[in-house]
Structure 1
C-alpha cells in the first residue's frame, strides 16, 4: 500500500458535521477526532466497527499485532481489504514499527503488544497529533482519549438447537477525557446480519447514563483478565 501524508489527507475531512452512523452517538461531535487514540475494551467486533467508521473515505488502514484478525470479518465489518496493511508480528521493536505505521496510515488498529512505557506513549501521542492518524487499541491503552466497552451482548437467531445466527445485540458505553468525560451509551447490532454494525432500538431505562462509567470499568477489568501469558 502506498504511504501518503496523513495530515494533508485529513485536512479536507474536518469541515462540517459528519453524518450520523451507528456509532456516532458514542463520540463527542459525532465522530472519532483525528490525532487521538481510542480503546475498544477487548471486543473485536467493536474494534472492527470503529476501524470501518474511522477509515471511511480515508487513504487506508493498518492492523499491527493482530494475527487473529480475519480478512472475511474485516470485509464484512466494512473495511476495504485493498486499502489494508497487516503487520501480524511486529517483534520486540514494535514501538518503532507502530510509530512508522502511525506516520503513514490514517487509521491503525493495534493489539496487545506489551507494556507501553510512558516515554513511548508520549512519543506515540505526539505522532498522532502531528499526523492526524487515529489509533484504535484492541485492549486498554494508557493514552486513549476515549474508552469504549461492550457491557452486555447476546447472540440472536438460534432457537432450541437449530437456526442461524442473526447477529449480536450489544450495549456499548464510552467515556474519556475532556469533551468525552460525560458517559454515553448505544444499543447496537454488533455485528448485524450483514456483518457490519447497525443501530438497535431499545427502550432506555432511568439512570443508565449514570451507571456507564462504573460499567465501563468492570468491562475493562474483564477484558484484562482474558489475557493469558
Structure 2
C-alpha cells in the first residue's frame, strides 16, 4: 500500500461509518489521531494491528460483527477464501475497504498524484494536499475515471478542486461516478 492511499481510505471510512462500529485489521501504522481527524468515532472502533497468519478468519469474524472494516495488505488470499468472504459480506451487508488489491473488487480507488501546499521557500505550515484519485474496476467502473480533490478538505472530508484550484464548499461523497 502506498502511504498516499491511507488518507483516502480513512476519508471513505469516515464517510460511510459516521457513528457506526468499524474495525481496522492489519494497519499497524494507522494511529487513533489520524482516524479521529478523519471523522471516525474512536469509541466505536476496533483495532487488530497484527492479526497473524489466520487473518482471513479474523476478517470473517469482524465482517459479521461490524458494518465497516478497513483491511491492510496482509498477503495472498486463496480464491475459495475470497469467495467465502464475499458471500459473508453479501449476507451481512458489511463494507470492506482494502488498502491494496483484492480479488473480486468492484472498484479500486488509488491516489495517482499528490502534492502538499503551504510551505514556501523552506518554511511555513503544510495547509492542504491536492491529490488525483483514479477509479478503475469492473462494470461501470471499467472505463476508469479520475478526479482532483483536496484530501483532506477544510472539514476533513475530500473536497473537489475547481478549475481555478480553489476549495469548493461541497464535500465529495464516497462515489466518484459522474466525475471525469
How high is the TM-score relative to the length of structure 1?
A: 0.67
Question: Residue 18 of structure 2 corresponds to which residue in structure 1?
Answer: 56
Closer/same/farther in 2, CA of residues 69 and 83 from structure 1, 3 Å limit? same
Residue number among 77, 80, 85 corresponding to 2:46 in the alignment: 85
Contact 1:109-1:135 within 8 A present in 2 as well: yes
Residue ranges of structure 1 left out of the alignment (5+ in a row):
1-38, 204-229
Q: Map 1:88-127; keep pairs closer than 5 Å.
A: 88-127=49-88
Closer/same/farther in 2, CA of residues 69 and 45 from structure 1, 3 Å limit? same
Residue ranges of structure 2 left out of the alignment (5+ in a row):
165-180
How high is the TM-score relative to the length of structure 2?
A: 0.84
Q: Which has the higher helix share?
A: 1
Question: Residue 47 of structure 1 corresponds to which residue in structure 2?
Answer: 9
Deviations 1:41-69 (A, max 9, x none): 97111111111112135x21110011100
Contact 1:41-1:138 within 8 A present in 2 as well: no
Distance 1:192 1:102 in 2: 30
Paired residue secondary structure (1:192): coil
Deviations 1:144-176 (A, max 9, x none): 111111111100000011110011100111021
Residue number among 77, 83, 90 corresponding to 1:129 in the alignment: 90
Deviation at 1:195, TM superposition (A): 3.9
Aligned positions, number: 165
Residue number among 166, 180, 183 corresponding to 2:144 in the alignment: 183
Question: Residue 175 of structure 2 corresponds to which residue in structure 1?
Answer: none
Distance 2:50 2:84 in 1: 21
Distance 1:134 1:105 in 2: 9
Determine whether 1:171 maps to 2:132: yes
Higher relative contact order (CA 8 A, sep 6+): 1
Distance 1:41 1:50 in 2: 15
